[in-house]
A and B are shown apart, each in its own frame.
Chain A
Amino acid sequence: MTSAFLAILKRDLALASRAGGGGELALVFFLTIVVLVPFALGPDLNLLSRIGPAILWLGALLSMLIGLDRLFQGDEEDGSLDLIRASVLPLELAVLAKGLAHWLTTGLPLALAAPLLGLLVALPGEAMLPVAATLLVGTPALSFIGAGAAALTAGLRRGGLILPVLVAPLTVPVLIFGVSAANAALGGTIPFATPFLILCALSLAAIVVGTLAAAAALRHSA
C-alpha cells in the first residue's frame, strides 16, 4: 500500500517535470500577477511595500488555481483514473498522494519564490521570511480545497472554467489569516503566532476535508 502511494506521488512529480507537465506555469503566472499589480496601483514603493504581503498572497492564490483543473481531468481522460480506482490503495490515500504532489510542484515553489518576488514590491527584509512561512503552511489548504473541486469537475469538458468559481469562495479564510499573519510580522497589535496557528489549523482541516470530498466525488463520477 505504501508502494502504491509512493508510485502515484512519484509519477505525478515525474509528469510535472517532463515537457508539457506545466509544473513551472504557476510560477510564471505568479510573477505575472505581481508585475501587473503595480501597473494598476502605480509604482509608489511605499504603497507597494505596505500591501506587499497582500499582493504576494493574492498572486500565490490565483497561481494555485492555474492547472488545478488538470489534477484529475488528465487521469480521467486517458483512463489512468480507472487504474487508480482498481488499485489496492484506498481512493482517499490516492487523492492524498495526488494532492501532495500538486503542492510539491506548485505551492512549495511559490512559497520559495515569494521572497524573491517580494523584492519587486519592496517588501521589507524582515517580512520576507514570515511571508514565505505563511505561504508554506497556507498553500497546502489551497491544494486540497482545490483537489475537492477538481474531483467534482474531473469528468466535465469545461471544468477549467467552473473550477475557479467553485474554489475561490472556499479560500477566503486562508487568504484572511495568511495575509494577517504576514502583516502581523510587519508590526501591529496582533502577535504573529495567533493568525499563523489558525492558518496551520485551516491547512490541516483542508487536507482532511478535501481528501474525503475528492475521494467521494471520484468514486462515482462517470
Chain B
Amino acid sequence: MASLIDLANPTRFMRYSAVLLPWLAGLSAVSLVVGFYLAWFVAPADYQQGETIRIMFVHVPAAWLAMMFYTMMTLSSLGTLVWRHPLADVAQKTAAPIGAAFALICLLTGAFWGKPMWGTYWVWDARLTSMLVLLLIYLGIMALWRTLDEPSQAGRAVAILTLVGFVNVPIIKFSVDWWNTLHQPASVLRLDGPTIHASMLWPLLILAVGFTLMALVLHLVSMRAEIMRRRVRTLTILEAERLDRLAAEGAPA
C-alpha cells in the first residue's frame, strides 16, 4: 500500500512541470487578454443575434475543452490499464473536475444565450443535451473516485468506467440527435453556425488557445497537488508505523 516506489517516478514530473508552469500561465494570460479584447471591442455584433453572440466566445471553447478533456482522460485510462504508468491515474483523476467545470460553463453560457434567443433558459437542443449527458458522465466518474479511497484500486475501476463512457459518447450523441429530430425540426438558430466571419473566427481561435492553455495550467497544478497529497498520505502512514516501532522498542512494558 505505502511504498517508496510510488514516490520515485513522479519526481521528474514535478521538476519539469514546475519549470513549465509559469510559461504556460503567462502565455495563457496573454492570449486570453488579446482574445477577449478582440471579442469585446473588435468583433462586430451579429446582425441577427446582436450582442449576445459574444457569449459564443466562451461557450464554444468550453464545449471543445469539455470534450478534449474527456478524450485525454480516455488516453490516461489506457495509460493506467495498458502501460500502468504511475502518472496516468493522477492525470485522469485531476482532469475530471476540470472537464466537468468546462461542461458546466458550456451549459451555463448556453442557458444565458438561450434566454434572449429562445425566451427560455433551457431547450432540449441536441447539442446542449449531449453536453448535459457528458456532464453526468463526468459527475459519475468523480463520484467513483470519491467512493474508492485506495488510489491504485480506484484508478483501475475509474479507468474502465472512463473507457466505457468513451465508447458510449458517440452512441449517446447519435441517439440524442435521433431523439431530437424525432420530436422537433432542427432549430434555425444555432449557437455555433457553420459559417463564421473572419472577424469573429480570429478572436474565437485565440480565445480557444487561451482557454486550452489555462485548462492545461489548471490540470498541471492539480496533478501536482494530487501527487503531493499522495506523498503526504504515504509518508504519514510510514511515519505512524515508524513511531510505533520506536515506541515498542523504547518502552518494553
A, B: real partners = yes
A76, B61: Cα distance in complex, Å: 49
A38, B132: Cα distance in complex, Å: 12
Q: Which residues of B contact A28 (CB under 8 A)?
A: 136, 139-140, 143
Residues A122 and B120 in contact, CB atoms below 8 Å apart: yes
Decide if A188 is an interface residue (CB 8 Å cutoff).
Answer: no
Residues A119 and B179 in contact, CB atoms below 8 Å apart: no
B172-201 near A? 1/0 per residue, CB < 8 Å:
000000011011100000000000000000
Known A-B contacts A45-B123, A122-B120; A35 and B146 likewise in contact (beta carbons under 8 Å): no
A22, B143: Cα distance in complex, Å: 8
Main secondary structure of the interface of B (DSSP, over half): helix
A175-219 near B? 1/0 per residue, CB < 8 Å:
000000000000000000000000000000000000000000000
Residues B136 and A31 in contact, CB atoms below 8 Å apart: yes
Residues A45 and B136 in contact, CB atoms below 8 Å apart: no
Decide if A126 is an interface residue (CB 8 Å cutoff).
Answer: no
Decide if B153 is an interface residue (CB 8 Å cutoff).
Answer: no
A124, B192: Cα distance in complex, Å: 28
Decide if A169 is an interface residue (CB 8 Å cutoff).
Answer: no
Q: Which residues of B contact A24 (CB under 8 A)?
A: 143, 146
Known A-B contacts A19-B149, A120-B122, A122-B122; A39 and B179 likewise in contact (beta carbons under 8 Å): yes
Q: List 22 A-B contacts (CB under 8 A).
A: A19-B146, A19-B149, A20-B146, A20-B149, A21-B146, A22-B143, A22-B147, A24-B143, A28-B139, A28-B140, A32-B136, A35-B136, A43-B123, A43-B179, A43-B180, A43-B184, A45-B120, A45-B123, A45-B124, A119-B111, A122-B120, A122-B122
